[in-house]
Structure formats: structure tokens, C-alpha cells
Chain A
Amino acid sequence: MSGVEGYMYPNEITLNWSVLIVLYPYITGLVAGAFILASLVRIFNVKAVAPTYRLALLTALSFLLVAPLPLQLHLGHPLRSPEMYFTPHSTSAMAMFGFVYLWYLMAVLVFEIWLDYRSDIVHLSQTSTGWKRTLYRAMTLGSDNISPRSLAIDHKVGWIVTLVGIPSAFILHGYVGFIFGSLKANPWWNSPLMPVVFLFSAMVSGIAAVLLLYMGISKLRKTPVDMPCVDTIAMYLFYIFILDFSLEMLDLVHRVYEADESFRTLNFMVHTKLYFSQIVLQICLGTLVPIFLLAITQVKKLPELVRRRIYIVSGFLVQLGVFAMRWNVVIGGQLFSKSFLGYTTYKMSLVTKEGLFAAIALTVLPLVILWILVKLLPPWDKEAQASIPAATAAN
């Protein structure tokens, strides 16, 4: 049989979870990470990163909107998916997750964005014309009260929403790791560390994504990059990255030390089929190199231009590394037989429902949504940007 070595059970020969299932945790991870960055401003009062606050929220929203699509494409039958909400099964983690998703989307993200943008929306509904005016009018929900007191109330409520949002974001992404980690039949996945590792890598990828988007957008708009802001983001990125890396290594060391019955098989995979994606992409290029680069910026005073370049390079490497990590988990976990005596191969298709093109389209789609959102709700309103630190100070 092609692509199969050794002994496989028949149901293991073709991989059922394709590249789209790799994309799904990657995208939800970006959502969680971007939100955590936004919460730095709101909850942890890190004023330096305020210029990215709104962008981070919009990024989280646009990726969250796309997050279920890979699953829909993978499962087919999109009309059946509402059943999950209508007749949820309480013992199904996936069904419960549907509610976490809705909660996070509506009660956290949309609500927080609405609160934060309310004064802008009211302002826009008065200055714009045509269909835009109607749209903004609808978004105001018929209230144009932007008195300082109402904005102060908004700010308090927004703080609570963010506070609730942090555990929500953790659950949102922790769940994805939970699904894998709780699969006791698969030794590659079955680990209580899985949700934690997923979460930290999510923060890393999300923060790096907002960093890249912020610098990219600044370039497009020909506005100067706020250096203290990107420096602070890079600093947080670095520290969280260190945590993430330690956790991943902890997981690895634990597996090596425990060396249970699956170890020889997994070890063999890491040295053969997964060598490139795990050792080269995930660990070396995607983790060690960016950590090293970011470490340089922390210990040495470098000129602005060099720092910016380092951030861009490490930002992209981080995306690569985190995507490779999702790939190694999802695809890697399906490459070996439960008999530990055989291996199969994943061959990605190109133009099918779950092929490469579908995956690329789903990666670009959130950026398109983000572009529309940014057009509708410009995150860089001068006075609004000034108002965040001011309001935070008033908190």
C-alpha cells in the first residue's frame, strides 16, 4: 500500500484530520493571543502598548469569525452545525465549546469593541452619509449619549468585560488543547500539559501577529511606528515565549524520561517523518532563533531600524513555528499506528474541499475581514488613542 510502512490498522491508513484541522487551532490561537495583548492595556495597565489595543481587538474578532470555518469545511453539512446549539450533549466537549465560542464572540469581543468604539461610532454616525450613516446609526443602537459620565461607565464595564474575557480566552484556546490532550487512545496527544502548551503558544503567536500587523499597517499608512509600543510588545513576547518554550521542553523531557511503551515509535517519528517540521521548523527556526533574536534586543541597545527588522523577522518565524507546532500535533498524531508497528503518510491535496487552496483562502479571509473592520472602525483615531491612556488613568 502506498505511503504505509509496517503494520497499520485499516482505519489508520488515511488521515482524517487534514491541514484544515491544523489551521483551526492556529487561528483560534491567534484570537486568544491578540486578546491577551489587548488585556495588557486594559487590565494590566501597560500603557505603552495602547496604540495596538484596538487593532488587537479587531484582529481577534476577524480571526474568531473565521475560526469555525475550517471545521465546517472539514465536516461538511454546515446546516447540521446549529444542532450543536439546539440539542447540545452535555458530555461532549465540542458541543460545550460551541457555547464558549458564542459567549466569547458576543459577550466579550463584540461587546468590548462596541464599548470602546461607542464615541467613535456616534461621531461617525453624525458625520458620514449614505449607507454608512445607516450602518453607524444601527451600531449606536439608537443612543448618542457620549457624555463623559457615560464614557466613564463604559470604561468601567469594559474593564469587567476584559477581566471576564481573559479566562474566556483561556478556555477558548485551552479547549483546543484539551480536546487533543484528553484523547487517551493517542500517546502523542494524551498529556495534561497539552492545553497549557497550546495556550502559551497561542499567546506567542497572537502577540506576534498583532505586532506584525501593527508594523505592516503603519508602513502602509506611512505613519511612524511607535517604538516604545513595539519594544514593549516584543518584551512581553519574549517573556511569554520563554514560558512557552519551557513548557514545551517540560513536556518533551517528561516524555523522554517516562519513556512509556509508545516512546520508541514517537522517537522514531521525530527523527524521520517529523524531523523537518518538528526539529527544524518548530524547534530551531520557529523557537530558538526568534528567542535568540528577541533576547538580543533585550540585552543590547540596538538602533531602531535593526530592532524593527528583528521584530519583523522573529514575528514571521514565530508564526511559522507555531503553525509547525499545530501541524506536528495534528498531523503527527495520525502518522503512526496504535500498534506502534507502522507508519503512514499525509499527502495534502491541492484544490479539494480540504486542500491547500482552501487552507490558504481561510488564512487570507481573516485579513480581508480585518481590512473591512479597520475601514469601518479605524483603530487609529488620534483623539481615541489619546483617550485610552487618559481613561485608563481615570480608572
Chain B
Amino acid sequence: MSIPKDARHLFRFAILFVIAFVVFLVIRHFVVPKTFGEYGHYRGAAITEIAARPMHFAGHQKCETCHVDIGEAKKAGKHENVSCEACHGPLAQHADDPSIQPTKINTTEVCIRCHADSAAKPGVFPQIDPVQHSGGVPCETCHQPHNGL
């Protein structure tokens, strides 16, 4: 079947579409990661890549094998269920090699992450207005962080 002469220009436009579509497919082929869609709507390789990342957190059980005293002290206090690294930050490197000294934490920032007043927190949770309560004095001058008092 030959295309009528007077409709050929329409096919030129159609060819433009086909070209655009092919270009799209080619680009798509190169930019979409190979493992995309292997398990779901994400890169399959992401799982192994993430698993291969170095550990940042050691977990409180590990800390307590060396810092037995603090572990015991903490169990007796209100911070019983707060993990070491929630305050100290990720310390996996230190746990593997204690010669790497952890940096000192700035309690005026760390403690109010959990304890600053907010209407969204349950009323029973201990909350303070940092300005009124301590006015910039580090919390550990009055409180013992491991005992939570």
C-alpha cells in the first residue's frame, strides 16, 4: 500500500515521534540501573550496596561489655531504655578500637533533642523549656546522664 502523496507530510511528523521514542528508549536503557526492578520498584543492587557499608553503630550490648559500670548505673536510672549511642552518637569505630577517643558530647544540644517541650509529646514524658530550665548551662552540671536524675 503506498502512502497517498498528499498525506506524506503527516508521516514525517509521525517519524519525528518514532525518533523521539527511540531516543527515549536509548536514554532509558543507559540511565536506568541494570538491577532496577529485580525485586520491586527499586535497584536490586541497593541491598548489597547498603549491606556493604561500614557499620556506624555498635549497639549498647557491645558498649556494656567494656563499660560495665556505666551499663549497671544506667539500668538503675530513668535512662534505662535509652541506648548509649542515642546520646554519644555512632561509636562503632571506638568499640572496635578503644584507642579512638570518642568526642565529648555537648549536652545543651543532645539532651533537648528528646526533652524539649512539644505539644506533640505525651504529657507523661519529662519535658522542659531549655531556656527557662537551665539557660545554656550544660545539663550534666546538675544531672547525671547515666542515672537520669
**Residues in A lying within 8 Å of B, measured CB to CB:** 7-10, 82, 85-87, 89, 106-107, 111, 114, 118, 141-143, 145, 147, 149-150, 153-154, 157
Contact = CB atoms under 8 A, between A and B. Distances in A.
Contacts of A142: 12
Given A86-B31, A118-B9, 18 more contacts: A10-B120, A82-B31, A86-B27, A86-B28, A87-B32, A89-B41, A106-B17, A106-B20, A107-B17, A114-B13, A141-B13, A143-B8, A143-B12, A145-B5, A145-B6, A147-B6, A149-B6, A157-B10
Contacts of A89: 41
Contacts of B31: 82, 86
The 4 closest A-B CB pairs, nearest first, are A143-B9, A150-B6, A141-B12, A149-B6
15 contacts: A10-B119, A10-B120, A85-B24, A86-B27, A86-B28, A87-B37, A106-B17, A106-B20, A118-B9, A141-B12, A142-B12, A145-B9, A149-B6, A153-B6, A154-B10
Residues of A contacting B: mostly: helix
Interface of B: 4-10, 12-13, 16-17, 20, 24, 27-28, 31-32, 36-37, 41, 118-120
Contact of B7 (A9, A87, A107, A153): A153
Given A106-B17, A111-B13, A142-B12, A150 B7 contact: yes
Given A106-B17, A114-B13, A141-B13, A87 B41 contact: yes
Contacts of A111: 13
A274 to B, nearest CB: 24
Contacts of B4: 153
Contact of A141 (B16, B28, B36): B16
Contacts of A7: 119
Contacts of B16: 141
Contacts of A8: 119
A9 B120 CA distance: 6
A141 B9 contact: yes
Contacts of B13: 111, 114, 141
Contacts of A10: 118-120
Contacts of B36: 87
Contacts of B10: 153-154, 157
A82 B119 CA distance: 40
B98 to A, nearest CB: 39
